[in-house]
Structure 1
Amino acid sequence: MKQLSEQPVAGTLLFYFVVYVFAKTYKRDQEKKNAQAAAATAAVAAAATFSPPATATAETAKPTPPKRVLPPISEDEQRQIYKWMLEEKRKIKPHNAAEKNKINEEKSLLKEFIRAESLPRL
């Protein structure tokens, strides 16, 4: 087997690979040190700045708006929604038997809701 020094291309590639690995490691270590130093200086600067009193920040905070309460949906509208959902379920083309069974169960449940005298509240 030939020595590595006798194969100039392989030796050169190995040399560049080793240099590349060391350079990446050195660069990564320097970035970590710089990030730690920046975090330390930011912490010192934050501690040195003057903070306003707590009452001033409470006044500037905007209150959250109350949630909108929608009126309940009438039973006729619910039935129309269930009928629309049933129509959409009928349009679906199942890819396998399990999916077909699931769709059939959902359709039967929708049919029960449509035929029921009183509907569950949405």
Structure 2
Amino acid sequence: MNEQPPQPQPVTSLLMRRCKIAWRLLLLFNFTLGAYLFASAQLRELKENRGRKAHRLHKSRTSAEVPHKDPITDSMEWNYDDLLVPATTPVAVRNPLLEEQQREVLQWMLQEKRKMKAKDKAEKKQIDEEKAILKRFLRAKSIPKF
């Protein structure tokens, strides 16, 4: 009548049974991480090989020599004054607009601002402020010179 209690199972197998899902997820994660690292290394090597090949092609193209009959400097005479003095065109000064023309331009600007559609509240606020400034200029007796 001496019954012996059942032998306890080893701890490692019991832990493996309890954590079966965790072990599977860990194994899957390790495989995917390895695949990612392998693929990124392959991609990096592929890009480097393409770069080397493009460099070799470019180098082979530039190494071809073109025969010259005469050197360029022998056949023409240089005018060094043209090279040293920069060629600049003077800025044309325009006559100032008359006050009536300025009012027409400001009126046109106000009409264009009214046509604009705002995307958000900040843009709407900015457009309203610009319209208020234009209206103030149009209502004034004299327009400031720009």
- Which of these residues, 44, 68, 71, is aligned with residue 49 of structure 1? 71
Matches within 5 A, 1:59-98: 66-98=90-122
Question: How much identity, in percent, do the aligned residues show?
Answer: 35
The Cα offsets for residues 62-116 of structure 1, whole Å up to 9 and x where unpaired, read as x665443322111111011111211221222323211210111000110121122
Instruction: Flag the 1:109–1:57 CA change in 2: closer, same or farther, 3 A.
Output: same
Any gaps of 5 or more consecutive residues in structure 1? Answer: 1-20
Partner of 2:139: 115
Number of residue pairs matched by the alignment: 92
Instruction: Flag the 1:25–1:82 CA change in 2: closer, same or farther, 3 A.
Output: closer
The DSSP-based 3-state class of the residue aligned with 1:54 is coil
Any gaps of 5 or more consecutive residues in structure 2? Answer: 1-45
Distance in 2, Cα, partners of 1:25 & 1:32: 10
Q: TM-score, normalised by structure 2?
A: 0.47
Partner of 2:26: none
The DSSP-based 3-state class of the residue aligned with 1:107 is helix
Could you tell which deviates more after superposition, 64-73 or 103-112? 64-73
Q: TM-score, normalised by structure 1?
A: 0.55
Distance in 2, Cα, partners of 1:91 & 1:77: 21
Which one has more relative contact order, counting CA pairs under 8 Å at least 6 apart?
1
Instruction: Flag the 1:50–1:121 CA change in 2: closer, same or farther, 3 A.
Output: same
The DSSP-based 3-state class of the residue aligned with 1:28 is helix
Shift of 1:35: 3.8
Distance in 1, Cα, partners of 2:51 & 2:115: 58
